[in-house]
Amino acid sequence: MGILDRLFGRGRKWGDVQIVSRKPAGRFQVVGVTYVLGKQVLGGVVLEGVIYPGYKLKGGGIALVREIHIRNRKVDFVVEHDEAALILEGALKVKEGEIIEVYQS
C-alpha cells in the first residue's frame, strides 16, 4: 500500500476499527448489555487500569468507547472499582460476567 493510499484511506473500509497498542490499558467486567438509540451500552465494573473515551475494547470483536457515564452523568474517565456504562461505537458479542480488555487508541 502506497503513501497516497494510506492518506486517502484506500484499501480499508471506514468502519474498520483496529488495535494499535499491544499492551492492555485495563480490564472491564461486563454486568449488563443493552442498546440505546442504536448504540450498544455495556454496564460493568473497571477491574484494573483507567478507561477514557476513545479507548478500544477487545472481546468478541473490537469497538470504540464513545462516552462514559456514571449514575446518568457523563464523565471524562473511570478508574479501578468504578461502576460505569460505556457507550460504544460498533458492537461486541459479549455476555454478562465476561471480562474484556481495554486498549489505548
Beta carbons of 99 and 49 less than 8 angstroms apart: no
Contact present, 86 and 41 (Cβ < 8 Å)? yes
In a domain, 43, yes or no: yes
For residue 35, count other CB atoms closer than 10 A to its CB.
10
Q: Give this prediction's pTM.
A: 0.79
* For residues 60-86, average pLDDT: 95
CATH for 76: 2.40.30.10
Asked if residue 23 belongs to a domain, the reply is: yes
Q: Compute how many other C-beta atoms are within 10 angstroms of the C-beta atom of residue 53.
A: 17
CB 28 within 8 A of CB 56: no
- Name which of 67, 73, 102 is nearest 86 in CA terms: 67
In a domain, 9, yes or no: no
Digit-coded pLDDT (tens) for 22-63: 788 899 999 999 999 999 999 999 999 999 999 999 988 999
- Report the domain count for the chain: 1
